[in-house]
Amino acid sequence: MADISCDIVVVGAGVLGLCVASELTARGRDVRVIDPGRANASSIAAGMIAPAFETVLDGGDAERGAFLRDAAALWPAFAGRFGLSLDRTPAEWRGPQAGMMQARLAALGFEATLTAGGVAAPEDIRLEAGASLQAMSERLGPRRIGTGVDRLARHGPGWRINAGDTGIRTTQVIVATGVAAAVPGLPHLASSLIAAVCPIKGQIGWTADVLTDRVLRGPGGYVAPVADGTLIGATMVEGARDLTVDPAATDRLLAMAQLLTGHGVVPTVQWRVGVRGASADGLPIAGPVGDGLHLALAPRRNGWLLGPMVARVVADGIEGRPRDRHAAALDPLRFNPPAD
């Protein structure tokens, strides 16, 4: 078995894992990312960075809105550092509740502009999810190891990771494995936090036809432009982790897309299913859990929105920097506070 030594290992190459790895690499740390390379929920997502509509649709208050706005504000600098492109075309809400939506957004402190079709939220933008994952992965080059992790074990002051034919010695491990089961060898606290992540099955459709030039949202879903066509999404089935396409959900989403776009007939659609993770309070689990272990999990449906914030919180925790003012909201130990 070949051995590698490095400062930090990130297990998982979804949006949170790659954002954390990119941030740490930019800070000069010797990082490896371990992931078998299969499609994940991040890769089939619409890539929305949407603090305004996400706050409203989740029933959030002004505090939650400010949190998501702060997360979105990190994206321009993050995208510039890592060569990612942002589509700044404002997302638009369409539906009979346009006036109520504008009032709700304004009450939460978001800019909201009435349009001919509905309400535009200039703070809600997007990126190409698949292309952005690929760009971050390519920047890592040989630092990405294409296999799964078999086991972790304590090794002196750090950890030893068995990953296929490779053994890796490291001082810090970041677990960013989505809704996967805990890797064998993790301590009880980390394993219990991972086990508590709630899976959420999401179904999304893709068509090569161009149905819109901007994100359109409305009751029941959204339609989003992508480089190779249009995405139609998305369902959220809490507690489910199967990857089967639901015909009833297909019918609902197609009907929603017809209403939002005005297209009488939606063209042939390929349906995809992914499973995301959520914590009990809907915010990510990001930060240290002791013994050189850190988590970057459970962003619910806002993995792309929250990626740079999670990356900064985890990287600062590893480097012992002063805690970001939002770090406490993401702290894994908020669910398992230490005994006095």
Task: Say which CATH topology domain 198-278 has.
Answer: D-Amino Acid Oxidase; Chain A, domain 2 (3.30.9)
Regarding predicted confidence, which is higher, 235 or 38? Answer: 235
What is the band of 12 on the pLDDT scale with cuts at 50, 70, 90?
Answer: very high
Assess contact for 53 and 68: CB atoms under 8 A: no
Q: In this predicted structure, what is the pLDDT of residue 170?
A: 97
Q: Domains of the chain: which residue ranges? A: 2-42+132-197+280-334, 198-278
pTM of the model: 0.96
% of the chain with per-residue pLDDT over 90: 89
- 3-class secondary structure for 236-258? CEECCCCCCCCHHHHHHHHHHHH
Q: Is 247 helix (H, G, I), strand (E, B) or coil?
A: helix
Architecture of the structural domain at 2-42+132-197+280-334: 3-Layer(bba) Sandwich (3.50)
Q: Is 100 helix (H, G, I), strand (E, B) or coil?
A: helix
What is the band of 1 on the pLDDT scale with cuts at 50, 70, 90?
Answer: low
pLDDT in tens, 196-234: 999 999 999 999 999 999 999 999 999 999 999 999 999
Assess contact for 278 and 298: CB atoms under 8 A: yes
pLDDT in tens, 265-303: 667 999 999 999 999 999 999 999 999 999 999 999 999
Q: In this predicted structure, what is the pLDDT of residue 95?
A: 83
Rounded CA-CA distance 193/197 in Å is 7
For 260-289, the DSSP string reads HH--SS----EEEEEEEEE-TTSS-EEEEE
**pLDDT (mean) for 310-339:** 89
What is the band of 2 on the pLDDT scale with cuts at 50, 70, 90?
Answer: low
What is the band of 117 on the pLDDT scale with cuts at 50, 70, 90?
Answer: confident
Assess contact for 47 and 75: CB atoms under 8 A: no
Q: In this predicted structure, what is the pLDDT of residue 264?
A: 75
What is the band of 337 on the pLDDT scale with cuts at 50, 70, 90?
Answer: low
pLDDT in tens, 240-253: 999 999 999 999 99
Rounded mean pLDDT of the chain?
Answer: 94
β partners of residue 154: 159
Q: In this predicted structure, what is the pLDDT of residue 266?
A: 67
Q: In this predicted structure, what is the pLDDT of residue 265?
A: 65
Alpha carbon 297 to its chain's center: 9
Assess contact for 207 and 269: CB atoms under 8 A: yes
Torsion over CA: 143, 44, 283, 339 (sign): negative
pLDDT in tens, 121-157: 999 999 999 999 999 999 999 899 999 999 999 998 9
